[in-house]
Amino acid sequence: MPDVPMPDPGAEPGDARAGEAGIETLEWESLPDGCWRLTSPGFAMNSGLVVGSRRAALIDTGSGPREAAAILRAVRRITDVDLVVVNTHAHGDHFLGNDYFRAHGVGDFYAGNLAISHMEATEAEQRALVLALEPEMGAGAGAHTAIHMPTHALGSSPYELNLGDRFITLQQVGSAHSPGDVTVRAGRVLFAGDVIEQGGPPNFGDSRPVQWLRLLEELASGEAIDTVFVPGHGSPVGRDFVQRQTGEMREAIARCRILAASLPAGREPSDSELSVLPYGAEESRFMYGRLVATSP
């Protein structure tokens, strides 16, 4: 993830001055089929918006009340209908804005049941993740800084949500990037969370690499050629990008397995040995460790 800017210490949570300059004027990118993408500063996390005639779905709420306030202002420039929230996964930059939206009238929050369990189990870790960007959320002090858990737990079956003249499909796709990853399908657009990332390496810290590869293979082969994939970070991509990411991860897993088989029991690989992987020193180490820990 990118470096996080230090916030204005004089700003209140939700204040237009909060966080990085320009946060109060976040801009939407229009996508097909009534969908929108917005990137917040800090972690450069993508929120999605799908607008129906009776309500709209907001996908991911940001790192805390500062970002959430800017996201809500941006939403209200597009639509004034009631909102529902979908959290794609259990990392704090994607769901710690929930309590701000709860306080501003949102009642329905959706996430995978495995993700909700992970949110509950890792509260301290998620707060620490956002501390520099959202000091109140990091400390758990101040308005709208509770950990608001999703109210609807998704299982393994697809869940169709009617927004009014527009349907979206929520799908818990398993534990790939993190426990209980969820995708959101809206016409030709697939909001993928951090299962797909553009502009930087995948984040392997909570991953199960073999399951992640299987999911990418399904997306790379099963999605229509005109599908627009919205990653959790970075610009929208097409199926060709997903196919390249799939091939890269397949090769990286194969190299990790060869490396693990060549090392004496208990010895960690060196940075030099990990340099055969395409992800950089930090993420390559995370990937190797998670592959060894989660593979049979």
Neighbour tally for 273: CB within 10 Å? 16
Does the residue 208 lie in any domain?
Answer: no
pLDDT given for residue 22 in this prediction:
45
Does the residue 163 lie in any domain?
Answer: yes
Specify the number of domains making up the chain.
1
At how many degrees (to 10) do helices 239-262 and 281-294 cross? 70
Q: Can you list the positions of beta strands (E) in 92-201?
A: 109-112, 152-154, 159-162, 167-174, 181-186, 189-197
- Which one, of 110, 119, 114, lies nearest residue 91 by Cα? 119
Confidence of residue 296 (pLDDT cuts 50, 70, 90): confident
Task: For 5-32, write each residue's pLDDT tens digit.
Answer: 333 333 444 443 344 434 567 999 999 9
Does the residue 211 lie in any domain?
Answer: no
| CATH code for position 40 | 3.60.15.10
Task: For 110-162, write each residue's pLDDT tens digit.
Answer: 999 999 999 999 999 999 999 999 999 999 999 999 999 999 999 999 999 99
Does the residue 8 lie in any domain?
Answer: no
Q: How many CA atoms lie within 13 A of 221 on its CB side?
A: 7
Neighbour tally for 76: CB within 10 Å? 11
Could you tell me the CA-to-CA distances from 176 to 39, 150, 204, 213 in Å, in that order?
23, 20, 9, 8
Does the residue 210 lie in any domain?
Answer: no
Task: For 184-198, write each residue's pLDDT tens digit.
Answer: 999 999 999 999 999
Does the residue 60 lie in any domain?
Answer: yes
For tokens 């607008």, what's the residue?
A: 51
Helices (H) and strands (E) in the chain, counts: 10, 12
Average pLDDT over residues 227-245: 97
pLDDT given for residue 62 in this prediction:
98
Report pTM. Answer: 0.91
Residue 41 in contact with residue 22, Cβ under 8 Å?
A: yes
Does the residue 42 lie in any domain?
Answer: yes
Expressed as residue numbers, the domain containing 149 is 23-187
Residue 9 in contact with residue 140, Cβ under 8 Å?
A: no
DSSP character string of 57-75: EEE---SSHHHHHHHHHHH
Does the residue 67 lie in any domain?
Answer: yes
- Which residues does 40 contact at the CB level (< 8 Å), separation at least 6? 23, 26, 47, 62, 63, 67, 70, 71
Both tokens assigned to 190:
């697939």
pLDDT given for residue 75 in this prediction:
98
- Which one, of 172, 249, 193, lies nearest residue 216 by Cα? 249
pLDDT given for residue 24 in this prediction:
64
